[in-house]
Structures are given as C-alpha cells and as structure tokens.
Amino acid sequence: MKIGFIGAGNMAKAMMGGIIANGIFTKDEVIASDAFDVALEAAKESLGITVTKDNKEVAQKSEVLVLSVKPQYYETVIKEIKDVVDETKLIITIAPGQTLKRLEGLFGKALKIVRTMPNTPALVGEGMTAACASEKVTKEELDYVCNILRGFGKVEVVGEHLMDAVVSVSGSSPAYVYMFIEAMADAAVADGMPRKQAYEFAAQAVMGSAKMVLETGKHPGELKDMVCSPGGTTIEAVRVLEEKGLRSTVFEAMKACTAKAKGM
C-alpha cells in the first residue's frame, strides 16, 4: 500500500476521497483502520479501499502513514505501532497540540513527521491545511506530502510556532462561519424568507465574499467599504455589528481557541 490511515472518521474520509478523486493514489493503494466497524464499513463502501481493524497492519504496509485519530488517542496508537515504524516511513499527523517534539518522544526516535492541520471543508474539496516538518523530512518529501494535501484543498507550509494559531483561524473557524450563516438565515426567516432559501442566500454570500478576498487581492476592509454606500443599508448594519462587538467577540473566541490548542 502507498498510504495508510489509522482512523477512518470524517476528516480521514475527506482526505482519502480527495486523493483518490484527484489521481494522487488509486483506491487499491489506500488502506485504513479504525476502532469502529461503522466507520470502516462506510469508508470501504464509499471509497472501495482496503480496511482492517489492525493498526499495526496499516503501519507496516503503508509508505505514507496518516495518524487521523483524535489528539487524546495519539499516545495509545503510537505505543501500539512504534515498534513497526522505521525511519524510512513518512508520517502525517492531523491533531492539534501534538508537537513534533512530543510526537518523536512518543515514538522514542527521530522520524520523518509532517505535522498538519486541515479543516472540514476538505469534505467538499475546499480544505485549508497548514504543514510543518521534522528535521529528517527532506524538501522533496515535504513537497510530496503537500501534493497529497492538495488533493482536498489548499496547503501552506508554516513554522511550527504558528500551528496553534492555524487551529483558530482555519481548523476551528468553519464552526464560527456556520454560526454566522445560521444567524443571517434566521434573520431572513424572521423577515419572511423560507428557511431553505435563506440558507442558500446566506451561504452563497459568504462563499462569494471569501472568493472576492482570495481572487482580487484587496484588503477585506476595502471590499467592505465598496459595499457601504453613504447613508445606506449596509453601513447601518455595520454600525450595529460594531456596536455589538463583532470584531472583539471573534478576536476573543480565537484567542481562547489558540490557548486551548496549546494545552492539548
């Protein structure tokens, strides 16, 4: 097998689906394990990959090994597989708070580890992933891993000191955006719009606005000003958002998220 996943949850399935759909690996080159039969069967049925309950089998058979379990399970999983993982294998992690130093300590040796932080829009091929690598990873190997990560969205290489900030600005932030979309839709419903239609209008507005930021290169403040006509409806809404503390609320929420990531 070319690539193996220990953990076959939603994020792992998004990653597997992306790399298969984009021809980075074939389904026959992917193997996954999981503690839950339901997750394994779902991955097997939807993707056609090889599945097993044996984490060691995945570690032994794969050239690239993705640890796609929750942070609290890393120590247990690594203890189980560390004796069958050698210095030739590329290891990708996706958990917040699991530093390269801690990971090498758990394995008990220096390895080729690429620490990443993807997010759930990977499920629709629009993920944003940050990556940093241990000293044993060569530039060519890091480029190879980044190509894998591009199978389900965009990727940026960052210093490890930024990974906790990545958790708050990218890893966790889809939840904030969903809350914003839900709030906008609720307000539209209160004004008489059918709920399904309200979600479509709100979600499309967010998607289009994000695309404007990415494709125009303009500062978000400049784009905001372009919508705010003097004495108009938008500036009135902006006034209320400022009065209610939108910016500071988001700021404080992200600071709390970063602090939580550091402690995991």
pLDDT tens digit sequence for 24-48:
999 999 999 999 999 999 999 999 9
pLDDT at position 145 is: 97
The reply to whether CATH 3.10.180.10 applies to domain 3-161 is no
Strand pairing class (30-33; 50-52): parallel
pTM of the model as a whole: 0.90
pLDDT at position 262 is: 87
pLDDT at position 98 is: 93
The reply to whether CATH 1.10.3730.10 applies to domain 171-262 is yes
Within the chain, which residue ranges are assigned CATH 1.10.3730.10? 171-262
Q: Examine the pLDDT at 212 and tell me if it is beyond 90.
A: yes
Percentage of the chain lying above the pLDDT 90 cut: 96
The token pair at 5 is: 């996943």
Q: What is the pLDDT of residues 181-192, one digit of tens each?
A: 999 999 999 999
pLDDT at position 123 is: 87
The overall average pLDDT reported for the chain is 95
Average pLDDT, stretch 126-145? 96
Q: What is the pLDDT of residues 74-114, one digit of tens each?
A: 999 999 999 999 999 999 999 998 999 999 999 999 999 99
Within the chain, which residue ranges are assigned CATH 3.40.50.720? 3-161
